[in-house]
Amino acid sequence: MADIWLISVPLDKTSLTSLEKLKRTIAKTNLASCCRFSIPELKVGMAADLSCVFCFPEGIPGEMHSLGERTCQCLKEVMEQSSDKVLENTLANGVDLLSYATKFQWDRAKYPTALPLRSLVDKISKQVLQVETELKSRSAAYNSLKASLKSLERKTEGSLQTRNLNDIVRREDLVDSEYLTTLLVVVARGSYVQWERSYESLSQFVVPRSSKLYEDREGGVFSVTLFKRAVGEFKAKARQSKFTVREYNFDLEEQQHQEMKQLGVAKKEQYVSQTVFYLCVCVHACPQGIFVRWLKVNFSELFVAWIHLKALRVYVESVLRYGLPVGFQALLLQPDKKHMKKLREELASLFKHLDPTAAASKTDVRGHTQLPRADYNPVVFKRISFSVN
């Protein structure tokens, strides 16, 4: 989990002096790492343009973070066999997330600074909603494919009474004529001798010496050929002897087997490992990892948009709090997890002059000292937390 703080302070002499003290303090005590956070001058416009940032479509800022987490989770699910490589695939503009945030540069091509704030907000909002809609559609399609494949795979991994038997039974061993048919009977390993001695007597219409064993680790399946009119009688007698007659259709199970292979190929097309990808490039025949590629691109887009939104809110809050003309410096702090409380106290102490109520309300009516709230910050403050596990 990475936890970074964005703060901004005005460019007056007192604040700049306090800022230098803060830098020296955190350098000596290792409270945090610190770097400048560059925000270009934006088109402020009317008060309505400023307020639109705080009237951002309800839930969108939180939804961006949630959507990013869901996108990352989808990536982990699709990359199930290489989940340890998720971290190296969740990047922002080709670099790891922390590096992108600490070396942030406003993307003027994607978010032109000449646009009014309202237009920038609308642009980010539409981008987020578009990704959310497409993510729902793509993940639903992928999960449907995965569920269908899992359902068919269970038929190959289950017991001999339910699993697909086409891997051990051959078509040419099955008789299906006008009068004769072949049944498959599941027999426990310890009952082989009993079966061999008794199967011909389960019906007078059983073809002698027609039984053949198909075996795997679990047990065995015996085939037996008999007249079709005797199938009901044979099943009843087999059940009494604790033999299970399988409902079996070679063509149907072969169709399911082919369907499973096709679904497996379709699932793999959603994710191709880097090794396979490079090999396929070499032979000019690359089955692209469609869903993975989409997730990687849109995770990057979401994270980039999210950091731009944070920068936008820092800019607007700084204008609203410190006034015009625009004059503030933004910093990115990466606090030590053990010293977050101490760092907040340091900020409150060094920049208490920015609290408009500090001078007038140092004590209450009973003479008690008033302490700032735990979540109070005299400077413009934004927290960014993200993780990729």
Q: Are 9 and 328 in contact (CB under 8 A)?
A: yes
Q: What is the pLDDT of residues 270-288, one digit of tens each?
A: 554 333 333 233 323 333 3
Q: Higher-confidence residue: 38 or 51?
A: 38
pLDDT, position 99 = 93
Q: At what angle do helices 250-270 and 117-157 cross, to 10 degrees?
A: 150
pLDDT, position 224 = 94
pLDDT, position 323 = 87
CA dihedral 75, 79, 83, 89 (to 10 degrees): -50
Q: What is the pLDDT of residues 128-172, one digit of tens each?
A: 889 888 888 888 887 887 777 677 666 566 667 767 777 778 888
Q: What is the pLDDT of residues 311-327, one digit of tens each?
A: 998 999 998 889 888 89
Instruction: Delineate the domains of the chain, giving CATH numbers in brackets.
Output: 2-145+282-355+374-386 (1.20.1460.10), 171-247 (3.30.70.100)
Whole-angstrom distance, CA of residue 246 vs CA of residue 223: 10
Q: Higher-confidence residue: 387 or 33?
A: 33
pLDDT, position 117 = 87
Which long-range contacts (C-beta less than 8 Å, at least 24 apart) are formed by 364-373?
372/348
pTM of structure: 0.68
